[in-house]
Amino acid sequence: MMNLFMAGLRRYWRSTVFWVSVIAALLIGAFCGNLTYENQYVDVAYFLFMQLLYAVLLSLSIGREWDEGGLRNKVISGHRKATVFLVELLLGICAVLVLTLVSLLPFALLCGGFFPIDAFHIGMDCLLGLLLLCVVSAVIDVALCMLIPVRAVSAVLCILLVLGMALAVDRINSRLHQPEELCKVSTRYSEETGLLEYQREYYPNPQYVGGNTRKLYSVLVKLIPFGQANEYMEIIYDCTRPDRDEAEINTDILSTGVFYSIGLAVVLTATGTALFRRKDMK
């Protein structure tokens, strides 16, 4: 397994796609760092760009292994399919973490001083949560690419999956953030006082999602990496507000997010390994 891993590392190190991705990660980090400095909040688009980058790198790298018969050769030479899958997964995770750290460097330099030093512990928790999400993204991409032998199709599917998850989270969040009640303000001229009187009338919002559907949506948002990233960004935004009160910041995701991420990663790895073991490699 170690030999396979070292050979894989060399493969990534010599790959043009990997170095192009490193440059792209630097540019994304610089662009989003500058944007954060100007707008004074971290846009979730940063996470979206990075996820797209992971999808491109992993689909092209693993797709190349399929194209050149590298995966089949490893199986023929006596390595177990599960080992091959796990090694590709580890390599994918390493590559994704390298890209993330590379992009964080210009990001931190450009928006340095943006995050308040007294909320540093919350910031570090968010950063660790986000790094864990990068690992989950890598697991999703690797599992997909290891099961689809056609390089172009796996690249298209990985990119579509990232966009689909972002769109799904956006739709779910727009429903979850609906207020339970709506307010209708009506005016009436008072002949006694000669002034306009305002009356507020509250009525239930038909777009509000309650009950089990709300629970399901909440779990889904936390399961999808983009949704969890959104919640981390909200915490970071709350921490940077001048009138912030640390007690009021909802930090539930900092304690529960880890379990969702690890759970999803484990389930996907187990499913991916099981399906890859049954895959006909022709």
Partner 1 sequence: MIKLLHAELRRLFKSKLFYLGITVMFGLATWATLARYYDAKHLIGMGYDTPDGLLFIAATYFPMVVAIFDSLFIGTEFSDGTIRNKITVGKSRFCIYLINFTITTVGLLIIYLVYAITVLAFSACLLKPFETPTRVLAVFFLCSLVTVVALNALTFALCMLIHKKATSAVACMLLAIALIMGGMTVMQMLEAPEILTGPSTIVNGTVMQPESRPNPKYLTGAKRSFFQFLHDFLPGGQMLTFGMSSELPPHVWKLPIYSLISTLIMTFGGVLAFRRRDLK
Question: Buried b / exposed e across 215-229, counting CB within 10 Å, b at 16+?
Answer: eebeeebbbbbbbbb
Interface with partner 1, residue 183, by CB under 8 A: no
Which pair of tokens denotes residue 278? 């049954």
- Among the residue ranges 89-97, 157-165, 235-243, 249-257, the one whose residues contact partner 1 (CB under 8 A): 157-165
| Paired strand residues for 200 | 185
Nearest approach, Cβ of 57 to partner 1 (angstroms)?
A: 10
Nearest approach, Cβ of 68 to partner 1 (angstroms)?
A: 12
Separation of alpha carbons 80 and 38, rounded Å: 51
Q: What are all long-range contacts of 244-247, with beta carbons under 8 Å and residues at least 24 apart? A: 244/119, 246/119, 246/122
Nearest approach, Cβ of 156 to partner 1 (angstroms)?
A: 5
Interface with partner 1, residue 152, by CB under 8 A: yes
Interface with partner 1, residue 197, by CB under 8 A: yes
Can you tell me which of 78, 113, 206, 211 binds partner 1, judged by CB under 8 A? 206
Interface with partner 1, residue 29, by CB under 8 A: no
Interface with partner 1, residue 267, by CB under 8 A: no
Q: Tell me how crowded residue 76 is: count the other CB atoms within 10 A of its CB.
A: 10
Can you tell me which of 56, 84, 99, 253 binds partner 1, judged by CB under 8 A? 56
Q: By the 8 A CB rule, do 56 and 159 touch?
A: yes
Interface with partner 1, residue 97, by CB under 8 A: no
| Paired strand residues for 183 | 202
Interface with partner 1, residue 147, by CB under 8 A: no
Can you tell me which of 90, 98, 161, 163 binds partner 1, judged by CB under 8 A? 163
Question: Buried b / exposed e across 114-126, counting CB within 10 Å, b at 16+?
Answer: bbeeebeebbebb
Site size for partner 1 (CB under 8 A):
20
Interface with partner 1, residue 178, by CB under 8 A: no
Q: Identify which of residues 53 and 143 has a Cβ nearer to partner 1 in the complex.
A: 53
- Among the residue ranges 89-97, 130-138, 148-156, 270-278, the one whose residues contact partner 1 (CB under 8 A): 148-156
Which pair of tokens denotes residue 123? 């910031």
Q: By the 8 A CB rule, do 221 and 172 touch?
A: yes
Element (H, E) at 187: strand 181-189
Amino acid at 41: Y
- Among the residue ranges 119-127, 133-141, 147-155, 217-225, the one whose residues contact partner 1 (CB under 8 A): 147-155
Question: Would you tell me which residues interact with partner 1 (CB under 8 A)?
Answer: 52, 56, 59-60, 63, 151-153, 155-156, 159-160, 163, 193, 195-198, 206-207
